[in-house]
A and B are shown apart, each in its own frame.
Chain A
Amino acid sequence: MVNLDQYLKPNQTEYYALGLEGSANKLGIGIIKHNIGQLTTLNKAEVLSNVRDTYITPAGEGFLPRDTARHHRNWVVRLIKEALNEAFGCGLHDSFKKLDCICFTQGPGMGAPLQSVVIAARTLSQLWGIPMIGVNHCIGHIEMGREITNAMNPVVLYVSGGNTQIIAYSRQRYRIFGETLDIAIGNCLDRFARVLKISNYPSPGYNIEQLAKKGKNFIELPYTVKGMDLSMSGILEFIESLANDLFNGKKNKLLIAKNGTNGTNEDEEKITIEDLCFSLQECLYAMLVEITERAMAHVNANQVLIVGGVGCNERLQEMMKIMVLDRNGSIFATDERFCIDNGIMIAHAGLLSYRMGDFTELSESVCTQKFRTDEVLVKWRDD
């Protein structure tokens, strides 16, 4: 077992880390505490604060890097202050003295928003005289998911607006077994929400999910699993054109659901927006379930952990559960505090790196839009 306390300072009995996340439209700040020793079910990481503010655009609009960066830089200091107050009480001028390190998302993500946040990390690191730790966003999701759910060695389905990956741990790497060949699943859902011009609050995916619950008719969409990978841009294009036909009142035989037994016109029912949302979710999630099942078989695992913003989706969790229980396995997921982008996961994963003696020098703290999950050497595990 890896010794997580090799760099323990004299008289130190616990560690505290501040985490800053801003790789997409959420700005998240969290403070975590680890007691010395291994993290176990009896010695859990402790969330001292976990605050977040989301940049929301008008219905029909995506978020541009420039406006998202503006949101982050205008809120980052206020949110750090709030997180410190929540974790340590009001004596701001002393509270930071407890912190061992400042962790920040170094990538992957959108360039300008990432950069707007690392500036605060660099400043505070120098002001407070504590090191910085650059964290891979995906590793943050995985480690926080494991810590919250106690899933020891799961196959990880990482589904968000920017990423869709099926991951399994092996020899100190989180290895990617399958992934999207084009757009991420959350991006596919977000873009469809824009076509429908539905609200981006609290998130477009959440609103699609609510509409999908009212859908009754399933329309067959392209099903594009390719080995361990999947493709979603064709599905999006297909359903976008269906939605446009529906809005424009254009005739399309796919937009008629036949419910009746004799196929007469009276039994015809028009496909609705709700039906489209329902069909899109069913199709996409079925693909995710298929590649997850294949990965489980491949690495002989019986645990599945779902992380990332789309992981909040109850229908995805439900469909995955049916498959996993069928294989006598167990499924783990977290609620929106942890599956939606947050600062605490960056604090947690960064603190694991810190405890293994890894720091990020100022000169190496440049953020990067591309940063693959399997680039990170997982020093804190050796199983």
Chain B
Amino acid sequence: MSKEGEFTHTLEFKVPFLNSKQATIACKSLNPDPILKPNELEVSYVNENEVLIIKFTGSSDRVIRVAANNVIENLKTVIECFEVFD
């Protein structure tokens, strides 16, 4: 096990949207919610043109799995909004 605060594990998603507007909206919709265990995990959201990049950096597989799953669940709601309303 890693020491607390030592972030040795990373997981990075690249999600391509239709355009940069959608990627920006997705980024801004996910970004406000704080990370629940900042001492064990960091998350960053960046959009490069139409691609949203979500990077998790954490101290264990466990914290990364929990956080990543939750963020992807939320991202799917964003995408479903685009499916129906954009």
Question: Is B81 a contact partner of A115 (Cβ separation < 8 A)?
Answer: no
**Given A81-B84, A92-B85: A123 in contact with B77 (beta carbons within 8 A):** yes
Is A127 interfacial (CB-CB < 8 Å)? yes
**A93 CA / B82 CA spacing, docked (Å):** 12
CA distance A96 to B25 in the complex (A): 17
B84 adjacent to A77 (CB under 8 Å): yes
Per the bound structure, the CA–CA distance linking A77 and B79 in Å amounts to 10
Q: How far is B34's CA from A364's CA once the two chains are assembled, in angstroms?
A: 11
The answer to whether B85 and A119 touch across the interface, beta carbons within 8 angstroms, is no
Interface contacts (Cβ under 8 Å), in number, total 62
A76 touches B77 (CB 8 A): yes
Which secondary structure dominates where chain B touches chain A?
Answer: helix
A116 vs B76: C-alpha distance when bound (angstroms)? 10
- The smallest C-beta distance from A307 to any residue of chain B, in angstroms, reads 29
A257 in the interface (beta carbon within 8 A): no
Nearest chain B residue, comparing its CB with the CB of A93: B85
Beta-carbon contact of B25 and A73 below 8 Å: no
B33 to A123, Cβ gap below 8 A? no
Contact B29 A126 (CB under 8 A): yes
Q: Contact string, A341-383, partner B, CB cutoff 8 A, digits 1/0? A: 0000000000000000000001111100000000000000000
In the complex with contacts A73-B76, A77-B80, A119-B77, A124-B85 CB distance below 8 A: yes
Band of interface residues on B? 20 to 34
Known: A77-B84, A127-B81, A362-B32. A119 touches B25 (CB 8 A): no
Assuming the contacts A119-B29, A122-B32, A126-B29, asked whether A77 and B81 have C-beta atoms less than 8 A apart, the reply is: yes
Whether B33 contacts A366 by the Cβ 8 Å rule is yes
Determine whether A198 belongs to the interface, using a CB cutoff of 8 Å to chain B: no
User: Which of the residues A73, A362, A363, A366 comes within 8 Å of B77, measured between beta carbons?
Assistant: A73
Is A120 part of the binding interface, using a Cβ–Cβ cutoff of 8 Å? yes
Main secondary structure of the interface of A (DSSP, over half): helix
Interface residue tally of chain A, by bracket? Answer: 20 to 34
Q: Is the CB of B86 within 8 A of A116?
A: no
Chain B CB within 10 A, most for which of A77, A123, A364 = A123
Q: Are A73 and B74 in contact (CB under 8 A)?
A: yes
How many angstroms from the CA of A211 to the CA of B76 in the assembled complex? 42
B73 to chain A: closest residue by CB: A73
B14 at the binding interface (Cβ < 8 Å):
no
User: Does B67 sit at the interface, judged by CB under 8 A?
Assistant: no
Complex Cα spacing A191 to B86, Å: 43
Residue-wise, chain B 1-43 has the 8 Å CB interface mask toward A (1 for contact) of 0000000000000000000000011101111111000000000
Mark interface residues in A124-160 (1 if CB within 8 Å of B CB, else 0). Answer: 1011100000000000000000000000000000000
Partner of B32, one of A69, A128, A366: A366
B66: min CB distance to chain A, Å: 11
Residue numbers in A under 8 Å from B28 (CB-CB): 122, 126, 362
B63 CB–A CB distance under 8 Å: no
In the complex, the answer to whether A123 meets B78 with C-beta atoms within 8 Å is yes
Q: How far is the CA of A365 from the CA of B34 in the complex (A)?
A: 11
Neighbouring A residues of B33 by C-beta, 8 Å:
115, 366
B38 to A: closest C-beta gap in Å: 14
A123 touches B32 (CB 8 A): no
B84 and A119 form a contact (CB under 8 A): no
Question: Contact between B73 and A123 (Cβ–Cβ < 8 Å)?
Answer: no
10 closest residue pairs by CB, A with B: A122-B29, A123-B81, A126-B25, A77-B80, A119-B74, A119-B77, A123-B78, A123-B29, A73-B77, A366-B32
Q: Given A116-B74, A362-B31, 16 more contacts at CB 8 Å? A: A73-B74, A73-B76, A73-B77, A96-B85, A115-B33, A122-B28, A123-B26, A123-B78, A124-B81, A124-B85, A126-B28, A127-B82, A127-B85, A362-B32, A364-B32, A366-B34
**Can you list 5 residue pairs at the A/B interface with Cβ under 8 Å?**
A69-B73, A115-B33, A115-B74, A123-B77, A362-B28
